[in-house]
Structure 1
């Protein structure tokens, strides 16, 4: 084993994030925001009677919200960013900073998230408080990928309740890599650096079909073949009847702006700013998050009729976007 790999392996088992409690207890308003935005109509999240009819003691939080309850607040994130920019800190680098420094020194400066696996031990209910810890589970030997050579860093986040009982885990994997030599030499020969690629989606067996359809300029919606319920985001099980059988239908491409934000910063080279990111409610009833095109930020309004557009970001990535519907006055 090389000295460098030995240094990397020494981080296995170390704690990246000590036990950190979420800023708020599990609560109904946040659950409501989540399910309305996601278009998840399963009544067990908001209706006590419906939840009890399934044998539960009451309403529960969606399983996919597990990470939400421990996320930092906006003020905490801004304070952390300000401290990092000013160089303020405790003086002793954290384990995460030490690991990053070792990888950076060896040239593994690029990063992409490859996958995230969650295991739910029990459903959370309003009033639960949740903490998380994150430990480095493993660091791979050097691997050659399409992006370049690098190391996969796998961490395990463990979520616990007030009784210190595990309620769920999340295995998170990143690839820290050096860009391929061909890409690096091309960039060096170019008169100006090429624009960065859009962030890559984390592809898995539950969503690959959706992105493959997008490459063909087809916006598809997953449909339960047992009860006919449409759902998005994609997933392995129907929230209505719990069936694992599904197919897809092609969306009409028409919808309305359900909600939107205008991003100004932090700026990422792959995007143009100001950047309009909207929740689009399709006429089929499902919602998805997409960019707005052919419209100025101050012209976007809630309820605006929109139609499908496409962003061919690069040969490997095509994403749906939406523009004002033909004839819409802006």
Structure 2
């Protein structure tokens, strides 16, 4: 399929307008809200007290799951499949704009409707040549009133062929005034956590302002380098430049009271579990870059 044919397919999908999907398998319900609040660490009691769902849960009610039931193909599906067929198998989210009209209420069954918005490319990016794909999803209640909207944009790219270890690792972290102390610590084999120089509050990821006292005075502490698996995913697809799949990405809870995201290594993906004790390890990805990762430790 040529670039022109891809653009023609994009125009055809956009002309379909808004396509309704299948209603959520379950209505908005308290157990799911409770689980979501627990997973996100959100202790706000207003949702369950008022019988409403957190706005950011809009996708939760209509996600198809691992074994989707009768799925209605959205206008974006055919285009994404066509890009896969042309070798643009890599995907990375670029941005998501969200609009919330009101809270979803207990007992409501939401229905998603997808509208394909645009295709831009081919463009050369740091990850490789690719296309930017944009679509919009609106969730409606049974009275056909919109509850929430989200605009998604992803980059579908051709992964760069695997490089020799001697070459620069392709996925390099952004280093700025807020994060430089962290990466300097990694080079020295330290796991540094930013703290407020005034009230002592720890925070990660690092930022310019304390979320508690709003102070801009910053310092850091050196963590013990131990933690436990709070949550994790096993990444199988799409391919990631410089990595072999499958690999585990975990949210690691530190005893210091913050959470950090990192890869779990030296352990088969199927052996990873919630609560698994971990220790920090530091791996050289090329001649310059060292990344903190996590390996199993004895409890």
| TM-score range relative to shorter protein | 0.5 to 0.7
Equivalent residue number for residue 52 of structure 1: none
| 1:282 corresponds to 2:254 | yes
Change (3 A) 1:76 1:250: farther
Equivalent residue number for residue 53 of structure 2: 61
Equivalent residue number for residue 291 of structure 1: 263
Shift of 1:211: 10
Equivalent residue number for residue 114 of structure 1: 94
Shift of 1:215: 8.4
Query: 3-state SS of the aligned residue for 1:76?
Result: coil
- 1:265-291 CA-to-partner distances (Å, cap 9, x unmatched) read 679683465x55554322233345543
Query: 3-state SS of the aligned residue for 2:36?
Result: helix
- Write the mapping of 1:203-222 to structure 2, written as runs, cut at 5 A: 213=182, 217=186
Distance in 2 between residues matched to 1:299 and 1:178, nearest whole Å:
31
Distance in 1 between residues matched to 2:130 and 2:182, nearest whole Å:
30
- Write the mapping of 1:133-212 to structure 2, written as runs, cut at 5 A: 133-178=113-158, 187=161, 194=163
Equivalent residue number for residue 21 of structure 1: 23
- Write the mapping of 1:73-92 to structure 2, written as runs, cut at 5 A: 73-76=65-68
Aligned residues: 287
- 1:249-306 CA-to-partner distances (Å, cap 9, x unmatched) read 5562545425566859679683465x55554322233345543334567876765543
Distance in 2 between residues matched to 1:122 and 1:246, nearest whole Å:
38
Distance in 2 between residues matched to 1:154 and 1:45, nearest whole Å:
31
| TM-score, normalization by structure 1 | 0.62
Which one of 50, 61, 64 corresponds to residue 72 of structure 1? 64
Hey, which of these two has a bigger chunk of helix by percent?
1
Equivalent residue number for residue 323 of structure 1: 295
Equivalent residue number for residue 127 of structure 1: 107
- Return 5+ residue gaps in structure 2 as ranges: none
- Aligned-residue Cα RMSD (Å) equals 5.0
